[in-house]
């Protein structure tokens, strides 16, 4: 049994279905979606009655598309690649050239789906994956609805997975949700956030609620503050035009970082059912106090990277020199924000969030710092201060959990040092190949929306950052670029915590192997 099969040993196969990928010629399909389907297929989680149809404007037939997706699969999967498994999967892969803005092409899609449905006996179940620019979401949704492809009858289902961004501000997010709801019910819409497919993110709930010794400490009485860091060492690469419209705040905070915050701060749900979990996350977002325009000036920091040298010695250009970027761009490539909540559990506890491009390392973590212990009993010893205990949830790379706490240093005198207990997923459960999309695609096929974002959650996330976006739009930065590539961001980000008598956790740069 392979590692992939071991990971899903207790799971049953998804029901018969056809997965329809809009934008099948793009990078997401070859790097993430097809490898995810390979992993699911090799773990016997895709049914025999399953097929894929890729849609794009490339002039290809089935064999041409199969050859295209085969180019990267072996390198993406690595040592576990099994040619026999791939041959069985790729035989189920089809392609159709389509103009996504053309209504008549959707009639042709209906005919093609009907034939595949009959050949593979997929019971009329269709999963539409929107690996396309957000500007096309509404139009594709309209054409699918007009062609009857979103209509569910007794015994079949139709579901749509939508990639972020879900709007670019509160107004556009509401408009997008209204547009989607014209042709679909909310329970047909699966807004995907690949961070929720990562084991450590899902393990936050298990760690908190399955371990009785931590949950009693998970409140304002014992926790001083939390830090959420999503650092990227890469620049904008070929996404300069997109990033100019988005920026670090829109790209990361309303979705990835606030989802993490929701899991960290929520009350125990009554179950792991989608509605119960969503309700508790939404309560957290409701409790977050939106920043006033005045608070934005002191509780939020933005930055843009200039040229610099990465830790590996690579000299990289400034953001403004990237293709598709305005040479005088005011777009932020770094954002940090301090949030607080107005509820019993977290009153007075700050949550510091930061994310950025071209930072020192590719690293995502949550750091929970506990309050300092009283030191009065050490007043006649060599101990002058006690380092606060800290719990670190590593999300990438080297997924795991680290706990640092105080212990006596061996010797005749009373000296205290900090020690670490470290749990690594790879050490305990093996290094299972994954893209972060497998769990989410599989859950969608099963109709489990637990790890997907509801319309309410999307809109609440935008409400929280809207004042920041408004103030920053009205007050263009005067100091961009204000941090060198290869550093941890602008100096003002340090002031965000330092002004509260706190510091960002010092993150050691991971070695080349991630350890």
Active site residues: 256
d(C-alpha 256, C-alpha 365), whole Å: 12
Q: Which residues contact 37 (CB under 8 A, 6 or more apart)?
A: 19, 46, 52, 89, 441
Q: Using omega within 30 degrees of 0 as the cis cutoff, is the peptide bond preceding 290 cis?
A: no
DSSP percent split of the chain into helix, strand, coil, nearest 5: 40, 20, 40
Q: Using omega within 30 degrees of 0 as the cis cutoff, is the peptide bond preceding 505 cis?
A: no
Segments of 286-429 assigned E as strands: 300-303, 305-306, 308-309, 315-316, 334-339, 351-356, 363-370, 390-396, 400-408, 416-424
Instruction: Output the CA–CA distances (angstroms, integers) from residue 81 to 35, 84, 86, 254, in the order listed.
Output: 10, 9, 8, 36
d(C-alpha 335, C-alpha 232), whole Å: 12
- For residue 376, is it left (φ>0), alpha (ψ between -120 and 50) or beta? alpha
Q: What does the DSSP assignment read for 74-117?
A: HHHHGGG--HHHHHHHHTTEEEEE--TT-HHHHHHHHHHHHHHH
Helix runs in 224-338, H state only:
240-252, 258-265, 274-287, 293-299
d(C-alpha 455, C-alpha 167), whole Å: 11
Tell me which DSSP letter residue 415 carries: -
Backbone phi and psi for residue 35, each to the nearest 5 degrees, phi listed first: -60, -35
Q: Using omega within 30 degrees of 0 as the cis cutoff, is the peptide bond preceding 242 cis?
A: no
Tell me which DSSP letter residue 504 carries: P
Strands 300-303 and 223-231: unpaired
d(C-alpha 503, C-alpha 338), whole Å: 13
Strands 334-339 and 300-303: antiparallel
Lookup: tokens for 41: 């297929």
d(C-alpha 458, C-alpha 305), whole Å: 28
């Amino acid at each position: 049994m392979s590692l992939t099969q071991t990971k899903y040993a207790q799971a049953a196969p998804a029901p018969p279905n056809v997965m329809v990928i809009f934008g099948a010629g793009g990078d997401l399909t070859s790097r993430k979606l097809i490898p995810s389907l390979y992993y699911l297929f090799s773990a016997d989680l895709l049914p025999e009655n399953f097929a894929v149809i890729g849609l794009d404007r490339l002039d290809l037939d089935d064999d041409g598309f199969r050859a295209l997706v085969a180019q990267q699969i072996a390198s993406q999967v690595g040592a576990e690649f099994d040619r026999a498994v791939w041959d069985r999967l790729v035989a189920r892969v089809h392609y159709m050239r389509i103009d996504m803005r053309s209504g008549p092409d959707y009639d042709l899609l209906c005919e093609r789906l009907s034939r595949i449905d009959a050949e593979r006996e997929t019971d009329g179940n269709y999963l539409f994956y929107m690996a396309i620019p957000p500007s096309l979401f509404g139009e594709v949704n309209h054409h699918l609805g007009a062609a009857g492809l979103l209509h569910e009858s007794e015994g079949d289902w139709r579901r749509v997975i939508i990639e972020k961004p879900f709007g670019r501000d509160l107004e556009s997010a509401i408009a997008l949700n209204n547009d989607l709801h014209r042709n679909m019910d909310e329970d047909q819409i699966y807004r995907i956030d690949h961070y929720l497919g990562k084991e450590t993110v899902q393990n936050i709930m298990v760690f908190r609620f399955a371990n009785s010794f931590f949950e009693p400490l998970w409140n304002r009485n014992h926790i001083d503050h939390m830090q959420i860091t999503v650092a990227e060492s890469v620049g904008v690469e070929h996404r300069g035009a997109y990033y100019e419209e988005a920026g670090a705040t829109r790209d990361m905070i309303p979705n990835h970082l606030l989802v993490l915050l929701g899991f960290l701060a929520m009350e125990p749900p009554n179950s792991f059912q989608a509605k119960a979990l969503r309700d508790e996350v939404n309560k957290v977002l409701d409790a977050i106090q939106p920043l006033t325009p005045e608070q934005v000036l002191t509780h939020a920091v933005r930055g843009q990277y200039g040229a610099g040298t990465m830790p590996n010695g690579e000299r990289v250009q400034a953001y403004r020199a990237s293709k598709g970027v305005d040479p005088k761009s005011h777009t932020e490539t770094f954002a940090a924000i301090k949030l607080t909540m107005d509820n019993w559990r977290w009153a007075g506890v700050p949550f510091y969030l930061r994310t950025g491009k071209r930072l020192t390392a590719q690293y995502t973590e949550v750091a929970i710092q506990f309050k300092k212990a009283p030191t009065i009993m050490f007043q006649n010893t060599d101990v002058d201060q006690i380092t606060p205990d800290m719990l670190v949830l590593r999300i990438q790379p080297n997924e795991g959990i680290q706990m640092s706490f105080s212990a006596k240093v061996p010797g005749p005198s009373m000296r205290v040092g900090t020690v670490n207990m470290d749990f690594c997923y790879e050490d305990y459960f093996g290094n299972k190949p994954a893209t972060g999309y497998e769990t989410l695609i599989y859950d969608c096929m099963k109709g489990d929306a637990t790890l997907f974002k509801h319309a309410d959650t999307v809109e609440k996330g935008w409400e929280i950052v809207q004042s920041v976006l408004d103030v920053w739009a009205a007050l263009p930065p005067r100091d961009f670029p204000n941090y060198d590539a290869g550093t941890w961001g602008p100096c003002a980000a340090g002031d965000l915590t330092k002004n509260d008598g706190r510091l960002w956790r010092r993150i050691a740069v991971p070695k080349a192997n991630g350890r």
